[in-house]
């Protein structure tokens, strides 16, 4: 599974592509940042964000796009820009028929560090270790994007395993009923 | 000047096209609502919003797109959807090279009713009168989109007049300096 993680923002939008499956060493395919000038018109910044995301989708052809879920408890101006940039990321992915999944910042932190309240340095350190990099990706937005992709790869099979367990239980019940009837 | 007003929202995005210049009777060219199902995936809703806005831009070829400026003092969930829908509207317009202007709700209310704190009914009543309609456009989002377009047409020349006044003053100063030197 190849996942494009997107840490949304208008000034810096982190992008990271990770390939792999849960339980096996993961591979970093690419990492970077889409930047737009803070003094530019918002509409033009959104066009630049769209162009940047399209380039990453074209270059790396991910199977899934994982985007950080935006909350509005933070600074009002920042949240608006983040919500707008995340909308463009979701739009670009869904327009191509790619599944879009959202993960909260604490889900991502918990997935890669074991704690939903880990700081940026800890997330950067674990991303470096898990992807066997020489140094933490800079800026933090790029590292966060990789963490999002890793989180998705690791959470996806958990969901699948849960579904499989439920399916197995149902199958067992059906088999038991049949066995009962056969008596 | 033909203006497409957009009252952004994920569930209902109001669109209204008004043609005219300040000081002359205005004409409504079109009005409507782009709707997306509340139970659908956000990414797919954004794709539907994009498609809807593109259709309005194709059908009416506005010179300018006026979008309501989003604030985050309201309900968190609603604001996120509104910010995301407004991002798609701005993106669609800017991608075509159309100017995008943002007006606050109170600027729009003040422009069409004389009061920045007017209620929906008052805005609807004035839109009906100013565009010589038989009844207020329904739903309120559609009326708000028309009010945004009217607001833009009326505010644009005010901005132009201010610029012209400044330019005239500068020209007068330059002329006075030249006359002084000529003495």
Q: What is the tens place of the pLDDT at every residue in A18-59?
A: 999 998 999 999 999 999 999 999 999 999 999 999 999 999
- From B72's Cα to the closest Cα of chain A, the distance in A is 6
- For residue A98, the chain B residue with the least C-alpha distance is B43
- From A117's Cα to the closest Cα of chain B, the distance in A is 22
A141 is catalytic: yes
Nearest by CB to residue B46, choosing from A43, A44, A87, is A87
B7 is catalytic: yes
* C-alpha R_g of chain A: 19
- Alpha carbon A33 to its chain centroid, in Å, reads 15
- The CATH number of residue B37's host domain is 3.30.420.10
Whether residue A100 and residue B43 make contact (CB cut-off 8 A), yes or no, is: yes
Query: In the prediction, which pLDDT does B76 show?
Result: 67
Q: Quick one: pLDDT band at residue A76, thresholds 50, 70, 90? A: low
Chain A partners within 8 Å of B94 (Cβ): 41, 43-44, 46-47
Handedness of CA B47, B53, B56, B59 (dihedral sign): negative
Range of the domain at A41: 2-182
Nearest to A50 by CA among A93, A3, A113: A93
Nearest to B145 by CA among B99, B98, B96, B112: B112
Q: Count how many domains chain A has.
A: 1
Nearest to B103 by CA among B163, B152, B32: B152
Cis upstream peptide for B139 (omega within 30°): yes
Q: Quick one: pLDDT band at residue B66, thresholds 50, 70, 90? A: very high
Tokens of A53: 């995301």
Whether residue A88 and residue B86 make contact (CB cut-off 8 A), yes or no, is: no
Whether residue B95 and residue A71 make contact (CB cut-off 8 A), yes or no, is: no
* Dist. CA B71–CA B105, nearest whole Å: 9
* Dist. CA A86–CA A84, nearest whole Å: 5
* Dist. CA B163–CA B11, nearest whole Å: 39
Whether residue A94 and residue B70 make contact (CB cut-off 8 A), yes or no, is: no
For the segment B131-158, the average pLDDT, to the nearest whole number, is 92
pLDDT tens sequence across A108-163? 999 999 999 999 999 999 999 999 999 999 999 999 999 999 999 998 766 555 55
Chain B partners within 8 Å of A42 (Cβ): 90, 100, 102
B68 is catalytic: yes
């Amino acid at each position: 599974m190849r996942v494009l993680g997107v840490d949304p923002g208008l000034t810096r939008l982190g992008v990271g592509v990770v390939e792999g499956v849960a339980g096996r060493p993961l591979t970093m395919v690419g990492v970077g940042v889409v930047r737009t000038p803070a003094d530019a018109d918002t509409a033009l910044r959104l066009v630049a964000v769209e162009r940047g995301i399209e380039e990453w989708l074209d270059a790396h052809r991910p199977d899934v796009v994982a985007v950080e879920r935006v909350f509005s408890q933070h600074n009002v101006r920042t949240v608006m820009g983040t919500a707008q940039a995340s909308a463009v990321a979701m739009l670009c992915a869904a327009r191509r028929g790619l599944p879009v999944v959202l993960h909260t910042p604490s889900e991502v932190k918990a997935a890669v560090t074991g704690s939903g309240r880990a700081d940026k340095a800890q997330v950067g350190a674990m991303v470096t270790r898990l992807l066997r990099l020489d140094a933490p990706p800079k800026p933090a937005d790029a590292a966060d994007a990789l963490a999002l992709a890793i989180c998705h790869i690791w959470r996806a099979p958990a969901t699948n395993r849960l579904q499989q367990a439920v399916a197995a239980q149902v199958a067992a019940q059906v088999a038991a009923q049949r066995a009962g009837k056969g008596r």
